[in-house]
Amino acid sequence: MRGALPFYAILCCSATAVREECVVQCTRQRFPSPTRELYAIITLSMHKYMLAVIGSVHHPIRKMSNSSEKQDCSVPLSARIMFLAGFTLIIATTVTFTPEIAKQIAYSWNIGVERARAEVARQFLEEHPFPEQRMAMVVRAVAPSVVGVHVIAPRRSEGYNPTRNGPAVLTGNVGSGVIVNAQEGHILTNYHVISDAHLILVQLSDGRETEAEVIGRDRTLDLAVLRIVADDLEAIAWGDSRQVLVGEQVVAIGSPYGLQQTVTSGIISATERSNPVIASRGTRRGTRSISREFLQTDAAINPGNSGGPLVDMNGQLIGICTAIIALETGGNSGIGFAIPSFTAERIYEEILVQGEVRHSWIGIMLSDITLSQARELNLERPMGTLVEGFADINSPARDAGLQRGDIVVRWGDTVINDTRHFTHLIAITRPGTTKEIEIIRDGETLTLEITTAARPANW
């Protein structure tokens, strides 16, 4: 079969050329039409199948080529034609009948264009860690998972009485959301987007619109989970907000002012940030409220972005855009806040398992350590939180042996920075969890164990 060697070489070169052409087209970011994108997908698939066929004939050819030089191993022309015809038939059959290839071809039609773009973009991001236009590919990879949330809610003016004033006038609100489970049709958004909703409509990135139902909500942390019934959904990948560093590039996608699929970019300005406008600061004496921590970003977040994703340069969800500190004119000030994905994912899973969200509580009132108190305790800086009192009802903190005047400096393995930090750690702990805490009492360091309870509704 020595005569087949040139043909084998041609097949290898063809497969390599197909692969290189696809990489070139992806790298240049030139996708002027669905046809070019479909071409990229098909060429990648063709490359795989050509290599498979080549591999099947490689070993027989090599074996025959090592035979005695005196032996006539030439292949008749008819055999070559039959091999070429068979190879062509395999490719044609594969393209025609393989479900995955058929689905990829369908991507080039209307509803599938964005999905095709997303798959090519994801593969590109895997193969090219730091390309020049990585942000554009991140947007393409994530866009199919971002939805617009349109809420029809009753407009009730101050002093509204349905008996005296009649039915409420319906008004529309706009927000955003992100698909986190494609099989179940689950969408994560902010609670304040869908609160008091009469009807919720979700608009997908491909233009489809469908009604959604609320399957769970958490008013305290401002999150809600919606469910829709639709095919060909794309779920976003979860990222770990605990690994995010200040200065990292991020992208926010949503529907500000109803402008669907609007993309803004920026960096992480701060982590573990408590917004005094929308979160409990936990610095007042005797505070009893739950503290919330946010990722702060300068990516533009405007009305309508609420509930949309904040993603990193891997196309992973690291936060849910929630609020901003607005200018007096109502515009964006470059200070926006997102609920960390670590918190959002925990709330989502808890809603799925229990149907509701229960926050931990230890029945304690706290205040921050002052500079003078820190000096008295020989601390390098104010840290920890001061126990001011306990709840009138059963208090897990009091039952664990805590006393008024104790300073709590560690919760589990985490050193406590201040009151806000401590109340947040309690809030993200599941009820019924036993934690080891470290306190300072009369200059001595003590270790206690405390078991959290479910937070009472009236506390």
403-441: pLDDT as tens digits:
998 999 999 988 888 888 888 788 878 888 999 999 988
Residue-level pLDDT at 100: 55
Q: Are residues 375 and 443 in the same domain?
A: yes
Task: Give residue-wise pLDDT tens across range 299-333.
Answer: 998 889 999 999 999 999 999 999 888 766 666 67
Q: What is the mean pLDDT of residues 38-63?
A: 51
CATH code of residue 190: 2.40.10.10
Q: What is the mean pLDDT of residues 147-158?
A: 76
Residue-level pLDDT at 140: 92
Q: Which carries the bigger pLDDT value, residue 95 or residue 382? A: 382
Task: Give residue-wise pLDDT tens across range 193-209.
Answer: 998 888 999 999 988 99
Q: Which carries the bigger pLDDT value, residue 64 or residue 357? A: 357
| Maximum mean pLDDT: which of 69-78, 163-172, 375-384 | 375-384
Q: What is the mean pLDDT of residues 347-370?
A: 86
Q: Is pLDDT above 70 for 283?
A: no
Query: Closest Cα partner for 407 from 384, 391, 388?
Result: 384
Q: Are residues 368 and 332 in the same domain?
A: no
Residue 220, domain extent: 142-156+170-227
Report the predicted TM-score, pTM, of the whole model to 2 decimal places: 0.63
State the Cα angle at 275 between 416 and 245, rounded to 5°.
65
Q: Which carries the bigger pLDDT value, residue 418 or residue 48? A: 418
* Residue 180 falls inside a structural domain: yes
Active site residues: 192, 222, 306
Q: Which residues of 287-300 are buried (b: 16+ CB within 10 A; e: fewer)?
A: bbebbbbbbbbbbb
State the Cα angle at 88 between 86 and 90, rounded to 5°.
70
pLDDT band at 216 (very low <50, low <70, confident <90, very high): very high
Q: Are residues 419 and 440 in the same domain?
A: yes
Residue-level pLDDT at 92: 66
Q: Is pLDDT above 70 for 72?
A: no
Residue-level pLDDT at 20: 46
Are residues 304 and 176 in contact, defined by beta-carbon separation less than 8 angstroms? yes
- Give the residue from 332, 354, 376 where a domain finishes: 354
Q: Which carries the bigger pLDDT value, residue 150 or residue 107? A: 150
CATH code of residue 369: 2.30.42.10
154: buried, middle or exposed (CB in 10 Å: 19+, 13-18, 0-12)?
middle
Q: Are residues 187 and 252 in the same domain?
A: no
Q: Are residues 449 and 430 in the same domain?
A: yes
